[in-house]
């Protein structure tokens, strides 16, 4: 199985360059829109473009032109070269997990001329869309309290104006996700229930319903109700398959169901669902950080089964993807931590410490103070204690004999795992 995954996933993956079913000139035709990640992705991508004379562009959104080849709504933008020599229209699809690395013909790319956090901070009047994008950035950095505050402010604005019910539904669900990540399960469920109820009243809101059901499944799982989690995840899967049977959300639903089966002690069934999810990623070359998360899930199962070499191989593949997308992201830190924990379980103290130190450095900027950051700090302290003594390994504090590993129980954190280490003195009488 491992060799097959090595063949399937490019060692140096790039985000999808084109949407599935695209036809025509990339970016210039609405049948071949540029895939990007949300409104922030639109802004960053367009700001990175340079015209043939080397100048950047100013731009305005014209509006949406309806569904594109993969049934996502496509937006049209009018671009004006700052030198006054070129005008053009480009089409973008913002419903993807990463920004395309491809460039429309005759144009080039440069670094965006503004930091992401500054994109939506220039307006003196609060705007729900801007607040939503700022909240998404804050959430990605692990600042859950600030993200929640921004989403709550956006929600109040939308309630006051009674506008954009689809955005209101999305923000309700985002608040459910943020509260769940913070461990506040009661408000998390209230927000997710409200999102589901709101989506159920809206026409053409099956996607929002599926998102809310998936959020409820995650809340159920943290609450220890695996049956309810499985029910919500399966409902989300059925809806997402109706919308796009080969989409990335279907892969995520399959992976979530695999997590439930792993929690229920069914590793073989879990691997089957993870395999289906990874096949969808490979089928449409949709390698992304979601793919890295799915490879991480496979690694967790193998770690629990004691197949730690396989676990390390899958984690290495996941880390390659993380490094290609965002070398100092929360996902990268989690992957480094997990590799360190598997090395700890094998008694490879130096390798464990090396990866945990790197993970802690990334957590310090990507998700300071998060549950994973705290777990990483604790693991690093534990490894520093275990690696002392003769031969680099731990010794019994009572008789001085070497201590060996006995059992290791891997448990899932929000995006990682931790290991409970049970030690046994090598002297039989002890």
CATH number at residue 207: 1.25.40.10
Q: Are residues 225 and 132 in the same domain?
A: yes
Residue 200 CA to residue 286 CA, distance in Å, equals: 30
Residue at 54 is within a domain: yes
CA distance 195 to 243: 19
pLDDT, position 413: 39
Whether the CA torsion 58, 60, 64, 65 is positive or negative: it is negative
| Euclidean distance between CA atoms 49 and 102, whole angstroms | 11
Question: Does some domain include residue 361?
Answer: no
Q: Are 340 and 355 in contact (CB under 8 A)?
A: yes
Tell whether 142 and 217 lie within a shared domain. Answer: yes
- Provide the greatest CA pair distance for the chain: 86
SS (H, E, C) the chain: CHHHHHHHCCCCCCCCCCCCCCCCCCCCCCCCCEECEHHHHHHHHHHHEECCCCCCEEEEEEEEEEECCCCCEEEEEEEEECCCCCEEEEEEECECCCCCCCCCCCCEECCCCCCHHHCCCCCCCCCHHHHHHHHHHHHHCCCHHHHHHHHHHHHHHHHHHCCCHHHHHHHHHHHHHHHHHCCCHHHHHHHHHHHHHHHHHCCCCHHHHHHHHHHHHHHHHHCCCHHHHHHHHHHHHHHHHHHCCCCHHHHHHHHHHHHHHHHCCCHHHHHHHHHHHHHHHHHCCCCCHHHHHHHHHHHHHHHHCCCHHHHHHHHHHHHHHHHHHCCCCHHHHHHHHHHHHHHHHCCCHHHHHHHHHHHHHHHHHHCCCCHHHHHHHHHHHHHHHHCCCHHHCCECCCCCCEEEEEEEEEEECCCCEEEEEEEEECCCCC
160 and 90, same domain (yes or no): no
CA separation (Å) from 102 to 45, 111, 250, 347?
10, 14, 25, 44
Instruction: Report pLDDT for 239.
Output: 95
Task: Please write the tens of the pLDDT for every residue from 358-376.
Answer: 999 999 988 788 888 999 9
Q: Which residues of 366-379 are buried (b: 16+ CB within 10 A; e: fewer)?
A: bbeebbbbebbbeb
Q: Indicate the residue among 243, 271, 301 that finishes a domain.
A: 243
> Is residue 423 included in any domain, yes or no?
no
Count Cβ atoms within 10 A of the Cβ of residue 390 and give its class: 0-12 exposed, 13-18 middle, 19 or more buried: exposed
> What's the pLDDT at 284?
60
| Number of domains making up the chain | 2
pLDDT in the model for residue 246: 83
- Give the pLDDT score at 248: 81
Q: Does 125 lie in the same domain as 106?
A: no
**What gap in Å lies between CA 348 and CA 311, rounded to an integer?**
15
CB within 8 Å of 7: residues ≥ 6 apart: none
75 in the same domain as 131: no
Which of 243, 263, 294 lies at the terminal end of a domain, its last residue? 243
345 located within any domain: no
86, two tokens: 């070129």
Query: CA of 249: how far to CAs of 41, 146, 170, in Å?
Result: 19, 27, 15
- The token duo for 421 is 């280490």
pTM score, two decimals? 0.68
Q: How far is CA 111 from the centre of its chain?
A: 23
**Domain check: are 135 and 221 in the same one?**
yes
CA distances from 59 to 50, 190, 207, 315 (A): 12, 39, 29, 41
What residue numbers bound the domain in which 65 lies? 13-116
Of 94, 116, 138, which residue constitutes the final position of a domain? Answer: 116
Length of the chain: 430
Same domain, 130 and 110: no
Contacts for 306 with CB less than 8 Å, ≥ 6 apart: none
Asked if 21 and 57 sit in the same domain, the reply is yes
d(CA 386, CA 344): 9
Note whether 60 and 102 are same-domain residues. Answer: yes
Q: Are 100 and 127 members of one domain?
A: no
What is the pLDDT, as a whole number, of residue 359?
A: 95
With a cut of 50, which residues of the chain have pLDDT below it?
1-15, 122-124, 390-394, 397-398, 401-430
- Note the pLDDT of residue 285: 53
Same domain for 239 and 124, yes or no, is yes
């Amino acid at each position: 199985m491992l060799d097959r995954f090595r063949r399937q996933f490019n060692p140096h993956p790039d985000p999808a360059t084109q949407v599935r079913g695209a036809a025509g000139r990339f970016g210039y035709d609405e049948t071949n829109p540029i895939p990007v990640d949300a409104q922030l992705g639109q802004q960053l991508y367009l700001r990175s473009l340079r015209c043939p004379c080397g100048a950047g562009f100013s731009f305005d959104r014209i509006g949406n032109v309806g569904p594109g080849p993969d049934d996502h709504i496509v937006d049209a933008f009018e671009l004006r070269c700052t030198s006054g020599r070129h005008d053009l229209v480009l089409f973008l699809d913002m419903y993807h997990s990463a920004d395309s690395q491809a460039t429309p013909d005759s144009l080039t790319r440069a670094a965006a001329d503004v930091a992401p956090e500054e994109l939506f901070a220039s307006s003196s009047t609060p705007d729900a869309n801007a607040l939503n994008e700022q909240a998404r950035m804050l959430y990605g950095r692990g600042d859950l309290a600030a993200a929640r505050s921004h989403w709550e402010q956006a929600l109040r604005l939308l309630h006051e104006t009674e506008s954009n019910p689809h955005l209101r539904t999305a923000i309700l669900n985002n608040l459910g996700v943020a509260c769940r990540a913070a461990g506040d399960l009661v408000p998390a469920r209230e927000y997710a229930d409200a999102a589901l109820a709101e989506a159920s009243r809206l026409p053409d809101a099956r996607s929002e319903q599926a998102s809310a059901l998936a959020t409820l499944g995650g809340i159920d799982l943290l609450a220890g109700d695996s049956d309810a989690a499985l029910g919500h995840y399966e409902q989300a899967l059925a809806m997402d398959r109706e919308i796009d049977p080969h989409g990335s959300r279907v892969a995520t639903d399959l992976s979530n169901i695999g997590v439930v089966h792993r929690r229920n002690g069914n590793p073989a069934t879990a691997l089957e669902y993870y395999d289906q999810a990874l096949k969808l990623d490979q089928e449409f070359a949709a390698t992304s950080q979601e793919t890295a998360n799915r490879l991480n899930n496979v690694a967790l199962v193998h770690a629990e089964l004691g197949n730690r070499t396989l676990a390390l191989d899958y984690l290495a593949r996941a880390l390659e993807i993380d490094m290609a997308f965002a070398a100092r992201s929360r996902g990268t830190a989690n992957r480094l931590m997990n590799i360190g924990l598997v090395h700890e379980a094998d008694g490879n103290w130096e390798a464990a410490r090396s990866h945990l130190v790197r993970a802690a450095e990334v957590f310090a900027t990507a998700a300071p103070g998060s549950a994973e950051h705290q777990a990483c700090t604790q693991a690093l302290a534990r490894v520093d204690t275990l690696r002392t003594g003769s031969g680099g390994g731990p010794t019994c504090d009572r008789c001085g004999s070497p201590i060996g590993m006995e059992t290791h129980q891997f448990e899932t954190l929000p995006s990682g795992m931790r290991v409970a280490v049970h030690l046994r003195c090598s002297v039989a009488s002890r």
